[in-house]
Structure 1
Amino acid sequence: MAELELAEYDPAWAERFEVEAALIEGAFGEAARQIEHVGSTSVPGLAGKPTVDIAVGVDRLDVVSLYVGPMTTGGFVYQPDEDRPWERRFVKGDRFPREVIVHVVEWQGRKWHDFIRFRDALRQDQSLAAEYENLKRHLLARGRWYRGVDKQDLIDKVLAG
């Protein structure tokens, strides 16, 4: 497992998103209604795990299996997760943290809107972004990588507002 520390914001994360988004668009074609850079690496100035999170909006999750082959050709590994029925996930990178995580969700569905609204809130409110970064630093100081569930209270507060 990688050392427990946050990476300072790196503008190369936005460039990496563009490269990966092109691969995803090539794999999904028109089935990918929208592809968005989400997560900490999508927020200029915000430190985080150096994992580029990408949300891909599709009309129906039950067709994602059709795109596993093309995504594999693009270097992604499909990671089915029965605990997350609202998304299908692809990853890139052999080590933790992953280099890229692709979250395929229903376009214009609740999870889609949650990804976009939380990202936009962090981009627009520097004090909120600082609070989020401080939470992640606090969790890491406890000696372990944080997960989405560790941040859920803050995320819920932002999405409720």
Structure 2
Amino acid sequence: MPTREQIVSLAESPPPPGESPWVGGATPRAHVEVVEADPAWPQWFEGLAARIRDALGFRAIQVEHVGSTAVPGLPAKPVIDVDLTVADPGDEAAYVPALESAGFHLRVREPWWWEHRVLRAEGPSCNLHVFGFDSPEPVRHRIFRDWLRAHPDERARYAATKQQAAADATARGEHTMQYNARKEQVVREIYHRAFVATGLLPG
């Protein structure tokens, strides 16, 4: 399990020199579109989760709906973010072929960052993030999601930040990674307040 210090650390984990996280010619999603919240998004997740569990069985230790589409009323890119916990994300043979047979395709490999992998699917559009049980990232994702669900003021602030970041990114022809960078400061501020409220950081 991750430690308290690991959970509250938001340090960047860039690729080592000469390394790229992208697999098979994949690149960041090029079109940044933030749309109004769709009440169908939880059902989209349930369909994706069923595909994942059917493909992996007990190898899917945890499957969680995270990100903005998991927060009712929050505008978001219409892409469902899913956190999948497996025993060993580095052992791709244990889960990637089964997920590929279910329509998910490996696009990101980051062994230097908690052995993180990303698989993408369409119909609906999905980013499937794969972590091990020792990674702090799924814990952070759940804290952030639940904090926004419970605090309308924070949800409104984040919504305004996302919409402005998307407008600026679109105007400049930027991709999703640059869009994420535009809202990073506000995300960090929200995380800090959530960490204090949960007792992970002193008030």
Using the size of structure 2 for normalisation, the TM-score is 0.69
Q: Which residue of 2 aligns with 1:66?
A: 94
1:33-68, Cα deviation, whole Å (9 max, x unpaired): 111101111110111100000011223222243211
1:93 & 1:60 partners in 2: Cα distance?
25
Q: CA deviation at 1:137?
A: 1.1
Q: CA deviation at 1:124?
A: 0.7
Question: Does residue 112 in structure 1 map to residue 112 in structure 2?
Answer: no
SS at match of 1:85: coil
Following superposition of structure 1 onto structure 2, how do residues 1-161 of structure 1 map, counting pairs within 5 Å? 2=31, 4-82=32-110, 85-86=113-114, 87-93=116-122, 99-107=125-133, 109-142=135-168, 143=171, 144-147=174-177, 148-161=180-193
1:105 & 1:117 partners in 2: Cα distance?
16
| Bigger Rg, which one | 2
Unpaired runs of at least 5, structure 2: 1-29, 194-203
Over aligned residues, Cα RMSD in angstroms?
2.2
2:111 & 2:35 partners in 1: Cα distance?
28
Q: Is the 8 A contact 2:52 2:99 kept in 1?
A: yes
Using the size of structure 1 for normalisation, the TM-score is 0.86
SS at match of 2:120: strand
Q: CA deviation at 1:70?
A: 1.1
2:135 & 2:40 partners in 1: Cα distance?
29
Q: CA deviation at 1:108?
A: 5.6
Unpaired runs of at least 5, structure 1: none
Q: Is the 8 A contact 2:90 2:111 kept in 1?
A: no
Greater per-residue helix proportion: 1
